[in-house]
Each structure stands twice: as structure tokens, then as C-alpha cells.
Structure 1
């Protein structure tokens, strides 16, 4: 029987607000930590597995500040022994030639010995070593990653499902990967509560949420696919909570992409995220290898690029972006401080209590009463 397709409402960061709580907490007393299996981090911030964001030295600095960075093992770090010149060339390439140049530099083959070397470099800094691979390379690289001493494995693609129809004889089975690699395995990306549940049933240790919201990603424009981040986080967090009620195993949700300000971080956590994964704001740090640029990891795709190189500038140190002091009023610095104060205002002493904060649809939240700011009269 024919039916009219019904469209659901979905909401992003600018569409919602967090309501203040009936009890307040001193921000200095809140606990922002989150846990991935046996690994505990002081702040719920992960750096995206993007070549312009994370290299081994950046991973060491974010670890010092209490978070964790994910190194992309399918990118420049495993294609070139010395990446300094490559980054410089990417930054200096004219805008109209950038995508073609990225396709060229990413056409170089990966080197397995560099996979092990990058893991060892992160370990040498004392940081928790988290690395990312695409599903197609996971079976081949997982033994190398484990042998080199990596501690967290992220398997990431634009859209990840348990059930993947392919012409190959046997695809990647997440339950087998979890058992064989012996490391916490994070999987993404998804926006579906059903897929979230199915992935959790495979034994994974965390779920990355978000399809196409990143500043350097054009998947939504190219493919028309995506769900706004607040709705995606709420839906997947609901699946997490149901799974926990049924099994007693808690699997963290990480909101990945589209986060620019402290307010976006707070809304992600209030929507149910246990942590956030950030790309472009970290690409603006002095420690990032991208020299003031960022690009999506699907930008170099040989036939259908789904990203772009963007000039984001170098704004501040990573420590200032995360912990201040902030010299800006737009919410892009001191992200941890913003989260602590927001938690205090809703009466949440830890991240899980922040999940209980009341949220409301509020499309005027950023414009109400702000006429002078929008007229360019703020300073």
C-alpha cells in the first residue's frame, strides 16, 4: 500500500538550549572525566583522526592536558617518513589546485613500517596511544598496531554499520576484531540508534556519532546524507542507555564533528555524549601540524571528493583553546572551563549527571537580545 514519506524534525547545536538547574554546583568541584574501558581521561575531549590535527607530538600535548588524540594511520603519517615538507606544500598550494594536490599526495602507498613507528613515537611521549584505520585496512593493520603497543583502536568511516553488503567473500566482523586485537575498539560513524545497539552487541568499547557535520567535510552536500548532531546524539545515547539496562555494560557515546564553541560541547554532553571529538578547533592550535589549514579525510578520494581544504588560521596554543585563559568572547577558547561552568549551572557534578539536564528547542537562543552584537558593535 502506497504511503506518503513523513519527515522527522531534527536539531543541531544552534536549535537548542540547556535549561538552568534547580541546584547549582561550584564549577571547581565538577568531575569532567570519562572512561574507555581501563583508560580514564581527565577531560572528555578527543582529537579527530585528521592529518591536519594530529601527529605524534600533538598527541603527547593533548595527553598532558588530560584528553586523547587519535592518529590517522591511513594518512600522511604512514605514507611519508618526513611529513614536514608535505604539510608545507599543502598549505602553500593555491585554493583552486588544493583538491588535486591532495589527491596526488595521498596516492602514495602506505608503509607498514611507518605504522609501527608512529605508534612507537606516541608511546615514547608517554601518551595513551589511540590510532584510527578505515575498515578496508583493519584486518591487515590490526596485528601491526597491536604489536607496536597501541592502546586504543578506532575503526572509522563516513557511515559504519554491522550489516554491510559487499561483493567481497567476507567483510570485517567487529566481534572477531574485538576478540583478536585485545584493545578497546571504538567504531563510527553512525547516527542511528539501531546501528548503535548492533555495534554495541559486537563488543565495541565506544561509538562515534556524526555524519557530515565537520567544518572540512562536504558529505552532506555531496551525498545529501546526515542527521543534525543534537538529535543524533540523543538517539544514540538512548540506545546506549537501553543497552546498559539490558546488559549492565556501559558503552560511551562520542559526539564527533560540528563542534566549534564551548556551548556546542555543553549541548553535546547534555544530549547524552560521554565525550566529544573535535577537529577544526584543534587544527587552529599552534601544536597542530596543518599550519593553519584543515581538510576532510575524504577530500583526497580519487573519484568523489567529500571534503575540502579550509584555511582556519592559527589562533592559540592547545592549552589556551582547552583551558584558557580566553582572550575571545565567542566561546572558541577555554572549552573545558565552559563545560565546568555549564555543569555547575545545571547542578551536574559529573558527566553522567549532565546527561539529565533539561534541554529545549530554542531557535532564537543565539539571536534573542543580541542586536548590537549582530550589528558588529560588540568588542
Structure 2
């Protein structure tokens, strides 16, 4: 990518938000009824490539509990309530998944003991495979991933190098997000997803392992989900849906049909154009 000179001593790349790009239709269209929006991670299949956190489930999506919604007055985890919520998901035939910050991951796992979710999300604003601290023992993500049988989804990240290092820990998926503009740290989301997609390709070449990409996107309509997928996401972590979730899913299906693609995986090969 062409570098832009900021001054004589510094250059930079141009970055793009999802609003800066649009999807180019292909040479064929497809009946919307022939389009599949299903998404699979590890052994689990979902009707739509969406992930929700907390109390806003979407039919057909992966619903993830937030561990820090279950805390006692002293700030410790309410393990009994978490165990009950995970058991309720299992009893309902749903996938049990829980999200926790890296700083509290070991505390949660120690509390749960033999009770394990189907999927574990280790999520923070920025999560790296190598966190350095002089004051406390940092989570060794690679060691943790390889010591438990639960597939781990880790993030957020927004750069090629950070994503590649997360993938090398053995994570089943990485979360792409970019929301630190107030601290001067921000990668526009379309560029972030595309960079992490490149990291996934390299990781696949090196190991033969396909690491999924879940993009955290403020979803207003199905177009936001569609553009994230074309940039390289396998699924979208909804933050949150503005309006009816059914409309978002319908929009995604129609966009895929308009562009002639049958599945989200195929849809990743669609072309984009910069509009701004």
C-alpha cells in the first residue's frame, strides 16, 4: 500500500472505515432463497454470522454471556449464577459461551472448576499475546489456550502483527475492533479487518489452521455486516443493532443474492470500491 508522507521524518498508510467502501456486484445474481447465511466455528453451527453479548439475543446467532454481569457485592464472580446460566444454555440445546477480560480469566476458570462453557471469549479493548507488567503476573494466553479443551476467541486487535501473534497462541478466532480514538489509538475498521485477513492467510500458510475473524461492528443495517464480511470477517459481533435484527439478516441475505454469492465464505471474495 502506498505510504503518505506526513513530514520528512514520518509516513503513514491511508485507512478506511466501513462507510468509506461499497460492495461491487458480480456478473451474476442469485435468488435470495438460495442464499445460506450459516456460520460454523469449531463444532458449532449458527443460522446467521452474528454474535451478541449480554441480554440482547438474536434468533440464530451466537449469544455470549458477560461474566462481569454476574458479580457479588465485593466484586468477585457469582460462580453459582454463572454456572446456572451456562447450564440453562446447555439444557436449551444452545451453545454456552462466556466473555471475560484477560485480567480475570484465570479467576473465572478457577471458580468454574470442571464446569466449562462451549466457547470462551477473552475480550478487552486491546488484547495482545504478550502483555508486560511489573506489578502483576500477566495472563499467558498461549499457555492457557493449550491447557484447556474449550475453544478460545481472543481480542480485540486491529493490526496485522497483533492478530498474527494472537493466532499463533492457538486461538480459534480473533476479535477485530477499533475504539480507542480518544487515546489517539485507532485503525479504521475496514482496514483493520483487511489487515487481520492478511494475517489469517499467512497463519493458514504456515500452519494449515484457519483462524476465524469476528469483527466488532456498530450495526445499523445489513450493509454494515455485509461489508465487514467482504473485508474478511467470518462473523460480526453486534454492537448493538439499531432497529430490528430480522431486517439486518434480511438485508444481508439480499445483498449476498444481489452480488451472486451463496455463502458468507464465498462472499469474502467480492470486490470493494472506495467511495470517499
**Fold equivalence (TM over 0.5):** yes
Question: 1:6 is paired with a residue of what secondary structure?
Answer: strand
Change (3 A) 1:280 1:169: closer
Q: 1:181 pairs with 145, 148, 151, which one?
A: 148
Q: Structure 2 regions of 5+ residues with no counterpart?
A: 1-6
Q: Structure 1 regions of 5+ residues with no counterpart?
A: 49-53, 81-106, 213-218, 285-314, 316-320, 324-333, 364-379
Cα displacement (A) at 1:358: 0.7
Is the 8 Å Cα contact of residues 210 and 255 (structure 1) preserved in structure 2?
yes
Cα displacement (A) at 1:146: 6.0
Tell me the residue number matched to 2:90.
123
Show the 5 A alignment for 1:197-236.
197-212=164-179, 219-221=180-182, 223-236=183-196
Structure with the higher fraction of residues in strand conformation = 2
Tell me the residue number matched to 2:252.
339
Tell me the residue number matched to 2:4.
none
Question: 1:147 is paired with a residue of what secondary structure?
Answer: coil
- After TM superposition, the score normalised by the length of structure 1 is 0.67
- After TM superposition, the score normalised by the length of structure 2 is 0.90
Is the 8 Å Cα contact of residues 217 and 224 (structure 2) preserved in structure 1?
no
Larger radius of gyration: 1
Is the 8 Å Cα contact of residues 191 and 232 (structure 1) preserved in structure 2?
yes
Q: 2:245 pairs with 309, 322, 325, which one?
A: 322
Tell me the residue number matched to 2:38.
33
Cα displacement (A) at 1:42: 1.6
Tell me the residue number matched to 1:68.
62
Show the 5 A alignment for 1:21-100.
21-48=26-53, 54-55=54-55, 58-59=56-57, 62=58, 65-75=59-69, 77-79=70-72
Q: C-alpha distance in 2, partners of 1:109/1:169?
A: 18
Tell me the residue number matched to 2:3.
none
Q: C-alpha distance in 2, partners of 1:155/1:246?
A: 24
Indicate the RMSD between aligned Cα atoms, in angstroms: 2.0
Q: Structure 1 segments of 4 or more deviating over 6 A?
A: none
